[in-house]
Amino acid sequence: MRPILAILTLILVGCGSNVAPTPIVIYVTPAPASPAAVASAAAPTEAPTATPTPTPTPAATPAPSFATVALPKLTVKVPGAKSVRYYQVTGSTPDELVISMNERCSAQSWACVETSYTVNWKTSTNLGTGACKVTAASVNLKPIANIPQWSSPAQVYPELLAWWKQVLAHITADQAKYIKIQQAADKKISSLLVGQKCSAANGIILKWKRTTAASVAKFAAQDANWQLPEYTGP
């Protein structure tokens, strides 16, 4: 520590003296500070230590469940069908089920409905002229729906079962639509034949069959664009 310079002027007075006062320079050193004060002044103040915020541990994602359920024996009702027959399909994946269906029915539509029918008509002949006319006509339709029935394996994933039910619902609706097209055509046969010459009946029936087949083909083309439902299971 540097000494503090203090100037004190002492005036010496002598009798009858003309001597000017002489300044006397005295260096005054202040008392040293206490060791505690020195240490307190010298030691730097430490900044407070921040307590780190704990990072939360993310919850573990549960592993997907691969539990299976017993495969039920599903049946359906097809509107308009006289009866329903089932053909067996097997598989543990959507692809396997599709392949199994394609082996039994046409690819993609799987509308294996049988619309067998007979056209019946009555005629009347004029005994005087020999002219023959159709007096009544009807169609005897006996549609049979052929539906795939998933039969194996015994235990399946519930996600695959839900997917299969969607496919089955579409196939059922398809077959009902084909039957409905045939039924609509059958209603026209009477108006087409009654009153016509008997000799023209076969030609009229043939044209009617072609028109009906065209209606069926139109619907089949539309149905070919149907896509299988998405499957998100194991």
pTM score of the predicted model: 0.68
Give the model's confidence band at 65: pLDDT under 50 very low, under 70 low, under 90 confident, else very high: low
Q: Are 160 and 68 in contact (CB under 8 A)?
A: no
The residues facing 137 across adjacent strands are 121
DSSP string over 193-234: HTTSBGGGHHHHHHHHHHHHHHHHHHHHHHHTT--PPP----
Tell me the residue ranges of DSSP E strands in the chain.
4-9, 23-28, 69-70, 83-90, 114-125, 132-152, 155-156
List, for residues 36-46, the tens digit of each pLDDT value. 444 444 455 55
Write down the pLDDT at residue 45: 55
CA 53 to chain centre: 40
Burial (Cβ within 10 Å: 0-12, 13-18, ≥19) of residue 163:
buried
32 or 158, greater pLDDT:
158
Q: Please state, in angstroms and rounded to a whole number, the distance separating the CA atoms of residues 224 and 146.
A: 18
Q: How many residues does the chain have?
A: 234
**24-31: average pLDDT:** 38
Q: Are 159 and 233 in contact (CB under 8 A)?
A: yes
Instruction: Quote the radius of gyration of the chain (alpha carbons, Å).
Output: 54
Backbone angles phi, psi at 228, to 5 degrees: -60, 145
Q: Are 104 and 89 in contact (CB under 8 A)?
A: yes
